[in-house]
Structure 1
Amino acid sequence: MLILNVLFSIVLVLGSGRACDDIGEEEQLGLFRHQQLDDSVLAYDYSPNPWSSLNYQPRSRLPGYADLYSKGRTSVKRPELIVPPRSYLTGKNGVENRVEGRLALRDFASNFINTGVFNNRFTPANTWRPFSNLANRIPVSYNPNFDNPLDNFDACTGPNGHSGICVPGSACSLFGGRPSGSCILGKVCCINVMSSCGATVTLNNTYWQSPSTISTPSTCVLTVKVDTKFIEQKRPICQIRLDFISFTTTQPTAGTCSDTFRVGGTTTVVPVICGDNSGQHMYLDIPSSDLTSSNIQLMFNFLTASSIRSWNIKIAMLPCGASYLAPGNCLQYFTAATGRVKSFNWQDTPTGTTRQLNNQNYNICFRTELVSSQRAAQICLSVCSVTNGGDPFSITTPASLRPARTGFDAISDLPIPAAALNSNVGTAVSNAAGDTLVATCLYDFIIIDGGRGVNGITADRYCGNHLNPAVGTVRLPGLTTSVQVCTPMRPFVIKYQTDGTEAAIMTANPPAVPAVARNDDLNTGFCLDYQEL
């Protein structure tokens, strides 16, 4: 029987050789190259457009000049399809490089062997794979220095609108994701969703959703690990972008959060936030993962029982050198010629509580866009329209409108909060008696460098209940209307800062506490529409 099997195999091989002889040599070569390319694509999960970033490139980069925000940054180069050399399996000096627990290397080895090496000679219709189990017995090591197309994960969007990455179905299961739609080359759009506390994320475009039950007091933490040794992070990561698809926790008390959301492990100083922040976003700077690995912690802390806590946060890992990275020291970054920017926890709801958060200190940056085929020469800001009784601009209630010395606190001689509706600019004014320095836009304010109103008046620092650079008088600061404020100062940046209290500051202690200030009254923060011109 053994002899018969051997003779039968010889006849099959000879028959295959004769069949190939019937095809022209040039046609054979063409078919072989075509099959080799197809097998390489399948074997290495090659994608022609790695690290697609449609969500973060709404417009093309401006030709003919260097972006003020992007000095020193280089665009991401597309990897070429390269058949890995022998050194791929070993590192420098012949030392093997191994990465554990991220992608099934046995799957890679199986694909590499079955399609990329041994089986090129077999046609796609031939399902006989004599070496299909060989990969399971061969240890395969991974060299992270080799630009392997296996490591490129295209961004994709599922039918439900969620972002994901294109990977083979088996890899999606390995990452703990769920397939949602299809990609090219037989891949699936893998949506990765976490809904627990204490989990770890290594995959781009992961969604962190609130668990079904939240006990109190408690802390819920998610760790984002970045390291180029992870196959799913082949390109070095320099920033993390958080998109708050939904975010609702308890409201602050006098500006101080009882529920808190904090970020740790980044070089960006992130303020503590709470309340309603759906639609907001943050950019987090981290050291390049090509130089050092990082663990970024996203932390919720809950002190009291509440039934309104829920969140869904999209976590995007942005590669170094990408054109859509935010400038350094910019917590928020807007990349459109028009849009809306809001302070954290601002909502168009009837006023009655303090929505402005304490201890905010961050920059909001705007990319210079093309307007009528020209670089924008200025950016203009105006308060947004409200329909539900919200207040679009309320930062530090301005001085009292009451007559001289009426309505002043007998101890501090400071104006008592009244139904003040005026704008304020600058840093300080005197009280009615002229002998006490009373802060206006010194503790809570926004800064618009070079801001100029329609009346031609300029001011950099704004607070009060209206956006207006008008100064007014000591007893009647500012005006009772908001106007559009424009600035030609590039790069376009707004700085937002609040102190740690809404109460009156009774004693000055320069330089930390440069002046006394009365207490604030139901401040809400700001909502501004912007337009580049």
Structure 2
Amino acid sequence: MGLKNISATVALWVTFMCFLGISSGEQILDKRFGKLFPFFSIVRITNQPCVPESGSQMGTCFTNTQCEKAAGTVNGKCASGFGVCCVVSATCESTITQNNTVFRNRDAPNSFTPTGLELCNVRISKPNSKICQVKLDFISMNLAPADAMGQCMSDRLSINGATPNVPANLCGMLTGQSMYLDFGSSDRLSMSMITDGAANPSARDWNVKVTYYECNAQLRAPDGCLQYFTAATGQVRMLGYPMAPHLADLDYTVCVRPEDGAGSIVWSHCQGEPAGDVFSMTKAKRMDDTMGMPEDMCNMDYVMIMTDEVMSTAVPMPKMNDRYCGNALKAMPPFTVRSTAKPFIMRVKTDSTEPAEDVMNTGFCLAWRQEPPRPK
């Protein structure tokens, strides 16, 4: 076959593929084409996350046509130069259907100051029937803080249509937090930002990354887990931490995936945090309020860690109660709680008010580490 005939055949093949509208991620390699032209290879663009040439927002590897349809911005190349790193952003009154889309405030990347009461809505729709869950990463989130009772009276983040139910009382600083939301029987979630410039004239900003998970994805959070972590060690901060007072009306579950070979999880105070802030919740009704209390002792603001045993010294102690409140996770160093109950979960609960003596409570920052089973 002459060179001209090869060129003409290749051109005809490319035209035919474009006519079919083959999309990324599909099987586009024809075996007959490979047999005819073994010196050619088909590059598949699989819509994986990509690092843009500039900026900190992750993109998705698309074709030029896909990026244009998604109303994205080309920011570099991917797939060995055959694809483009497409950065997709959404703002008020948008509908999100693309993975790795970022929901941003008006005037982004700058912050803004609302002139009065402003409402900014965004819809998050399932792109296909294989999707069951979405993860929200709060790259930045700075709203007006709660009032002296921990109530979000000026600004509020509201999420509707998701399971588990998201706390309705979210405001202040949520930067660095994340939440996993199930679509359930719905095909769409909605997220609303309510800001009141008359009540608080400070600047606001938000930058929320949206990641979709298929129903059988390994990284999908278990049912009922608003926050989910998949590492042997890490830290978790209460929603709104270290704002004082901490948010009211919280009721959610933090889950940590057990690593292979893990027999227990040990919770402790985060290192490097101010001593008075690292664990600061409503004081229990008796002095030794950090030993794990029965329900009538820690019944306002607390964390619940289901344990088979607790550890306050080098010697394991018998099982105690599962609620912790007050000004430290434990009364004595090393301020640790060990749990062998799987899955590894912690429930966070706050009530609707804060007594005058508790208005400086900030919530908690707790670190975890997973450990192998103890020898019997």
TM-score interval w.r.t. the shorter chain?
A: 0.7 to 0.9
When normalised by structure 2's length, the TM-score is: 0.81
Would the aligned equivalents of 1:179 and 1:190 in 2 still touch at CA under 8 Å? yes
Partner of 2:174: 277
Distance 2:143 2:259 in 1: 35
| Cα 1:37–1:163 shift into 2, 3 Å | same
- Equivalent residue in structure 1 for 2:64, among 165, 169, 177: 169
1:209–1:398 Cα change, 3 Å: same
Residue segments in structure 1 that go unaligned for 5+ positions in a row: 1-17, 51-78, 84-115, 125-148, 229-234, 402-420, 429-438, 469-478, 505-518
Pair 1:444 & 2:273 matched: no
Structure 1 residues 381 and 46: CA distance shift in structure 2, 3 A:
same
Counterpart residue number, 1:215? 115
Equivalent residue number for residue 88 of structure 2:
192
The question of 1:367 aligning with 2:257 is answered yes
Q: Higher RCO, 1 or 2 (CA under 8 Å, sep at least 6)?
A: 2
Please list, as runs of the form range in 1=range in 2, the aligned pairs for 1:447-458 lying within 5 A after superposition. Answer: 447-450=304-307, 451-455=309-313, 456-457=316-317, 458=319
Distance 1:398 1:327 in 2: 32
Aligned to 2:164: 268
The answer as to 2:174 corresponding to 1:336 is no
Q: Which amino acid aligns with 1:268?
A: P
Distance 1:239 1:377 in 2: 28
Q: What is the alpha-carbon root mean square deviation over aligned residues?
A: 3.5
Structure 2: segments with no counterpart, 5+ residues: 372-376
Change (3 A) 1:270 1:387: closer
3-state SS of 2:65 partner: helix
1:285 CA drift (Å): 0.6
CA contact 1:398–1:424 (8 Å) conserved in 2: no
Q: Which deviates further from its counterpart, 271-280 or 329-338?
A: 271-280
Matches within 5 A, 1:77-226: 80-81=27-28, 152-159=46-53, 160-184=55-79, 186-194=82-90, 196-212=91-107, 213=112, 214-226=114-126
Contact 1:445 1:461 in 2 (8 A): yes
Whole-angstrom CA distance in 1 between matches of 2:352 and 2:151: 8
Counterpart-to-counterpart distance in 2, 1:151 and 1:300: 35
Q: How many Å separate the matches in 1 of 2:59 and 2:20?
A: 22
Amino acid at match of 1:524: T
Number of aligned positions between the proteins? 345
Partner of 2:192: 299
| Cα deviation 1:36-56 (Å, max 9, x = unaligned) | 699869976565xx5xxxxxx
Partner residue of 2:368?
530
More helix by share: 1
Higher strand proportion (structure 1 or 2): 2
Superposed displacement of residue 218, structure 1: 1.9
* Distance change in 2, residues 1:465/1:481 (3 Å): farther
Post-superposition offset of 1:484: 1.4
Which secondary structure does the structure 2 equivalent of 1:173 belong to?
helix
The answer to which of 237-246 and 218-227 deviates more is 218-227
The whole-number CA distance in structure 2 between the counterparts of 1:283 and 1:464 is 28
Structure 1 524/480 Cα, relative in aligned 2: closer, same or farther at 3 Å?
Answer: farther
Show CA shifts across 1:241-280 (max 9, x none).
0000011111111211121111111122001311111110
Which residue pairs with 2:207 in the alignment?
312
3-state SS of paired residue (1:464): coil
Shift of 1:386: 3.1
1:501 aligns with 2:358: no
1:182 counterpart letter in structure 2: K
Q: Distance in 1 between matches of 2:20 and 2:77?
A: 18
The CA distance in 2 between the partners of 1:36 and 1:381, in whole Å, is 60
Measure the CA separation in 1 of the matches of 2:16 and 2:57: 31
- Kept after mapping to 2: 8 A contact 1:396/1:440: no
The superposition leaves residues 46-102 of structure 1 with CA deviations (integer Å, 9 ceiling, x where unpaired) of 65xx5xxxxxxxxxxxxxxxxxxxxxxxxxxxx65576xxxxxxxxxxxxxxxxxxx
Quick check: 1:215–1:305 contact (8 Å CA) kept in 2? no
Q: 1:330·1:365 contact (CA, 8 Å) conserved in 2?
A: yes
The aligned amino acid for 1:363 is T
Residue identity opposite 1:498 in structure 2: T
Q: Does residue 245 of the first structure (1) align with residue 139 of the second (2)?
A: yes
Work out which of the two has the higher radius of gyration on C-alpha atoms and give 1 or 2: 1
Distance 1:169 1:322 in 2: 28
Aligned sequence identity (%): 29
Is the alpha carbon distance of 1:442 and 1:211 closer, same or farther for their aligned partners in structure 2, counting shifts above 3 Å?
A: same
Question: Would the aligned equivalents of 1:467 and 1:482 in 2 still touch at CA under 8 Å?
Answer: no
Deviation per CA, 1:483-532: give whole Å up to 9, x if none: 1111111111111111111148xxxxxxxxxxxxxx63421111011101
Distance 2:327 2:211 in 1: 36
Task: Give yes or no for contact 2:306–2:341 (8 Å, CA) kept in 1.
Answer: yes
Cα distance change on mapping 1:151 and 1:294 into 2, 3 Å: farther
Distance across 2 between alignment mates of 1:486 and 1:467: 11
* Deviations 1:453-493, CA, capped at 9 Å, x for gaps: 1343333111111112xxxxxxxxxx365611111111111
Instruction: Tell me, in whole angstroms, the C-alpha distance in 1 between the residues paired with 2:267 and 2:92.
Output: 40
CA distance in 2, matches of 1:32, 1:308: 60
In structure 2, C-alpha distance between the alignment counterparts of 1:219 and 1:317, rounded to whole Å: 25
Change (3 A) 1:44 1:390: farther
For each residue in 1:141-167, what CA deviation from the matched residue of structure 2 results, as whole angstroms up to 9, or x when unmatched?
Answer: xxxxxxxx9995222222334222111
Aligned residue identity for 1:153: N
Describe the shift of the 1:19–1:153 C-alpha distance in structure 2 as closer, same or farther (beyond 3 A): closer
